[in-house]
Structure 1
Amino acid sequence: MAADTPLLNNNRSNVEAEEAASFPVRFGLESKRLWHLAGPAIFTTICQYSLGALTQTFAGLHSELDLAAVSVENSVIAGLAFGVMLGMGSALETLCGQAYGGGQIRTLGVYMQRSWIILLTTALVLVPIYVWSPPILELIGETTEISDAAGKFALWMLPQLFAYAMNFPIQKFLQSQRKVLVMAWISAVVLVLHAVFSWLLILKLGWGLTGAAITLNSSWWLIVIAQLFYIFITGSDGAWNGFTWLAFADLFGFVKLSLASAVMLCLEFWYLMILIVITGRLKHPLIPVDAISICMNLNGWDTMIALGFNAAISVRVSNELGAGNFNAAKFSVLVVSVTSVSIGVLIMILVVATRDYFPYLFTTSDAVAAETTKLASILAVTVLLNSLQPVLSGVAVGAGWQALVAYINIACYYLVGLPAGIILGFTLHLGAEGIWGGMIGGIILQTSILVVITSITNWKREAEQAESRVMNWGGSIINF
């Protein structure tokens, strides 16, 4: 199987020669491969995350209520959908990556179509959450004013939900083939257009939330359409062979892995998003919610860097396991962990150094800026932790450990971190700082466990399981 793989340096002699090289040489070669993937992936994730972040920024410059509405919708309603869609789509990282590593190129298009079926069905299931978001937000503690504004904005953002369902399978399909530059260029062009039209509609024309919804929906669908044009026109080097009835075969096994992936990543994405909801239950919540939202905005940008490495290591691990090169997969994990943590340290220093200045990029309110500055130290710690945790999650996705990590996330985040945050924030009256500080404890525990699991993994056995997975879910292509 490994002899048929399209990976660079995939033949046995090259693999063995590289493994015999000195540590610095191996580290340099692997770093080059990782940055070839991670650089465009980081750029893409930052661009796509910036669509919502820029919308939130322009909304904050329009009014404090608009900022709260967009922040809550992005974090709670769209955040829930984003987590579900990205999580279910991440099953494609395991399957497409291992199939590509094993040389089974023609199965990638089938996998993407199966994922579309599953995610579009899931999007329909999520529609009621958007429709009835005002009472849902009030039920979890948001004020009536914020809930009504966020609910109105959520209803207008339904097109984004279905764009998520299309986009994430496309991204995993392209990532597994290392076509990350295509996504980067498309995302960059759309981001520029988004910034111009957001300024025009939200601020210049004064359309507020209406303008925000128009630009954000349009930008996400423009990304989807542009990527589809690329795939349909080029055929993606044989990975796309047209629509096929085989997309409806073996859906049960595909759904099972998709659900495990969704649970794993949703529990991670929702964890810090819950922070905004809990903060909304404090007395006089508008200023703390706005301050937390600004911090989550910055933390989100930093997380996008880690998610770029998440995508890179997922591709590297899945490709190498699919090709049977288990030692290469193991070494890649070490290299990406060192690299990502080093970047995390630099960003942590930057946050601390600019804590008195960066809040004014997002708000004109001195009260909100002062509260944000108070939270900067906790934000700095979170940034450092987020440099490693998403990378380890990428390893889990590349190896197919989603179900195991889901259980770990439940225990660390929701049985330890969340109760600790509630106790510190409300019982001990430490407010937003206490809530956030307690929840960081859950991240530390989860990251520590993943480090141990990754360290003791039998990578040879993982490679054997990858080969079995590709063989079981491959199949022939039957086109319309």
Structure 2
Amino acid sequence: MEENQCDESVGNWRNKWWVEECKKTWNIALPAILTSASQFSIDFVCVVFAGHLGPLELAAVSEVGNVIIGFAYGVMYGMGSALETLSGQAFGAARFNMLGIYMQRSWIITLMTSLVLTPIYVFTSPILKVLRQDKDISELGGKYSVLVLPQLFAYALNFPMQKFLQSQSKIWVMTLMSIASMAISLLLNWVLVSKLGQGLLGVAMAGNVAWWVLVIGQMVYIVSGYFPEAWTGFSLLAFKSLFSFVKLSLSSAIMLCLELWYFTAVILMVGVQKNAANAVDAISICMNLQAWTIMVALGFNVAASVRVSNELGAGKPKAVKRAILVNLVKAGLLGFVFGIIVVATRNQFPAIFTDKLEVKRETSKLGYILALTIFLTGFQQVLQGVAVGAGWQFLVSMINIGCYYIVGVPTGALLGYRFKLGVQGIWWATLGGYLLQTIILVVLIFRTNWNKEALQAEERIKTWGGMAEPQGSS
């Protein structure tokens, strides 16, 4: 009798922590999913409208998006992601005053980085030509890249603010602003492109306005008194420890960029094939669709990162393990559902992006590979979120180099050209890189001593906070 009561008690306890952790996960993941999907949709809408201008316009916008904007976006997002570790652990340790200082330090770094990246936008056309891309695509892409330069500086301000809000699980206002910005992008594209016939100029203007509406809205929200402990005004403390902050920011940027640049490498490999426009269009459509699902998976990436960093900062290693398990299960289920949808609609979804029959046919051939990649993406994003929450950016960077560049790129070139499998061979190599990285991260995470990681988080908070940033500083 006592044994049965004990088993029932253990069962109730397990159900309780599972339900509680699920609630905590969804409170972060759901608004983060909506935020990520809405912000991605700002550019997604632009690609769709560009696609209906013609195959050359679609190829130009897609190539600029994947090669130039993708590069800059990855750098900015990665630089801002240093806050996921520091702010999340500081919030878990109740060091709220550090959050605003961290965000200001990140602003300084990301704005300086945006100035460094500006020439890439200005000289997009010759850069693409050096990379042996189609001449017409390169010329039109270069013009479009200059038009969307204002978005680079919007990224610089946006991502640090996102991490500031996410670390405190204050996401819903940001979510509503992101949805509003996506709606603005859709409305302006319809007016400027479909009604007024402004072509790529209209596409660029719509994206620029949408991004800056989002940035200004978030900034007003943060400085308007809703965060009395975390935001105490601009401070000269933001200029302290900048060098150390830059090192962590660079590690975060490199970790993310190595993954994003891999997709850039894939686009470039496809771009040197015969009939490059159709091939680039097909794989760009797949990448845009996968990127949309990644925005959804990023919700669980954020949830895993916030939960792990908060619990490590609070010194609760058991809660870290629960957070990892719940996020993996939920992300895997969503990835499975998305994969099934892609397979079921593989002959229909290309029509969203293009009216050209050859591009539709080429894209449909990639449906099964795309579905498998999307399924794996959910697990991969959660595992990377755990790594960021624990502060393992440099280690994951090394893993990414091995999986994507030592294995993935050579394999893609071999399958695509040596074995003449074309776009499908290159994409199979992409899937292989994903799978290898996922396996390594799973082994690493489940062999980790989380008690030791909690002690390291405590030491990190002391090192970064210390006496230089006492409570109530401004």
Q: Please indicate the TM-score interval, normalised by the length of the shorter structure.
A: over 0.9
Residues 184, 206 of structure 2: 8 Å contact kept: no
Q: Shift of residue 478 of structure 1?
A: 8.6
* Superposed CA offset, 1:328-366 (max 9, x none): 011110110011001101110110001111111111111
Aligned to 1:138: 129
Distance 1:25 1:203 in 2: 53
> Is 2:103 the partner of 1:99?
no
Aligned to 2:426: 435
Q: Shift of residue 140 of structure 1?
A: 1.4
Aligned to 1:198: 189
Q: Shift of residue 235 of structure 1?
A: 4.1
Aligned to 2:448: 457
Q: Give the match's secondary structure for 1:306.
A: helix
Aligned to 2:214: 223
Distance 2:11 2:24 in 1: 18
Aligned to 2:336: 345
Q: Give the match's secondary structure for 2:225.
A: helix
Residues 109, 240 of structure 1: 8 Å contact kept: yes
* Superposed CA offset, 1:178-205 (max 9, x none): 1110111101111111101111111211
Q: Give the match's secondary structure for 2:234.
A: coil
Q: Percentage identity across aligned positions?
A: 51
Distance 1:479 1:97 in 2: 19
Distance 1:461 1:188 in 2: 40
The letter of the residue matching 1:476 is P
The letter of the residue matching 1:50 is S
Distance 1:319 1:388 in 2: 21
> Is 2:445 the partner of 1:476?
no
The letter of the residue matching 1:423 is L
The letter of the residue matching 2:90 is A
Find 1:292's aligned residue among 283, 292, 301: 283
Residues 412, 425 of structure 2: 8 Å contact kept: yes
Q: Shift of residue 439 of structure 1?
A: 2.0
Distance 1:314 1:478 in 2: 26
Distance 1:75 1:98 in 2: 33
The letter of the residue matching 1:288 is A
Distance 1:20 1:252 in 2: 50
Unaligned runs of 5+ in 2: 1-8
Aligned to 2:3: none
Q: Give the match's secondary structure for 2:94.
A: coil
Find 2:141's aligned residue among 135, 150, 153: 150
Q: Structure 1 residues 282-291 or 264-273, which shifts more?
A: 264-273
The letter of the residue matching 2:319 is A
Distance 2:314 2:354 in 1: 50
Find 2:180's aligned residue among 184, 189, 211: 189
Q: Give the match's secondary structure for 1:223.
A: helix
Change (3 A) 1:128 1:73: same
Q: Shift of residue 229 of structure 1?
A: 0.4
Distance 1:429 1:141 in 2: 19
The letter of the residue matching 2:376 is L
> Is 2:192 the partner of 1:234?
no
Distance 1:234 1:330 in 2: 35
Distance 1:63 1:252 in 2: 47
Cα RMSD (Å) of the superposition?
A: 1.4
Q: Give the match's secondary structure for 1:236.
A: coil
TM-score, length basis structure 1:
0.94
Distance 2:132 2:443 in 1: 37
> Is 2:245 the partner of 1:254?
yes
Distance 1:119 1:400 in 2: 19
The letter of the residue matching 2:363 is T
Q: Give the match's secondary structure for 1:238.
A: coil
Q: Structure 1 residues 150-159 or 164-173, which shifts more?
A: 150-159
Distance 1:211 1:243 in 2: 36
Distance 1:71 1:43 in 2: 23
Find 1:447's aligned residue among 429, 438, 442: 438
Change (3 A) 1:254 1:53: same
Q: Shift of residue 19 of structure 1?
A: 9.4
Aligned to 2:325: 334
Distance 1:395 1:133 in 2: 35
Find 1:48's aligned residue among 39, 54, 58: 39
Change (3 A) 1:478 1:114: farther
Distance 2:126 2:418 in 1: 26
Q: Give the match's secondary structure for 2:265.
A: helix
Q: Structure 1 residues 470-479 or 153-162, which shifts more?
A: 470-479
Residues 242, 479 of structure 1: 8 Å contact kept: no
TM-score, length basis structure 2:
0.96
Find 1:73's aligned residue among 64, 69, 78: 64
Aligned to 1:301: 292
Distance 2:445 2:21 in 1: 18
Distance 1:194 1:296 in 2: 20
Q: Which of structure 1's runs of 4+ aligned residues deviate more than 6 A? A: 477-480
Change (3 A) 1:365 1:112: same
The letter of the residue matching 2:168 is Q
> Is 2:111 the partner of 1:120?
yes
* Superposed CA offset, 1:267-298 (max 9, x none): 11222232222110101111111111111111
Equivalent residue pairs, number: 463
Residues 422, 435 of structure 1: 8 Å contact kept: yes
> Is 2:301 the partner of 1:310?
yes
Aligned to 2:5: none
Distance 1:341 1:392 in 2: 11
Residues 97, 473 of structure 2: 8 Å contact kept: no
> Is 2:375 the partner of 1:384?
yes
Distance 1:356 1:139 in 2: 35
Residues 246, 478 of structure 1: 8 Å contact kept: no
Q: Structure 1 residues 394-403 or 128-137, which shifts more?
A: 128-137
* Superposed CA offset, 1:106-136 (max 9, x none): 1100000000011111111111111111111
Change (3 A) 1:19 1:231: farther
Q: Shift of residue 237 of structure 1?
A: 3.9
Q: Structure 1 residues 268-277 or 217-226, which shifts more?
A: 268-277
Find 1:272's aligned residue among 255, 263, 267: 263
Residues 343, 387 of structure 1: 8 Å contact kept: yes
Q: Give the match's secondary structure for 1:466.
A: helix
Aligned to 2:384: 393
Distance 2:210 2:379 in 1: 30
Unaligned runs of 5+ in 1: 1-17
Distance 1:434 1:140 in 2: 21
Residues 89, 309 of structure 2: 8 Å contact kept: yes
The letter of the residue matching 1:355 is R
The letter of the residue matching 1:415 is I
Distance 2:73 2:17 in 1: 37
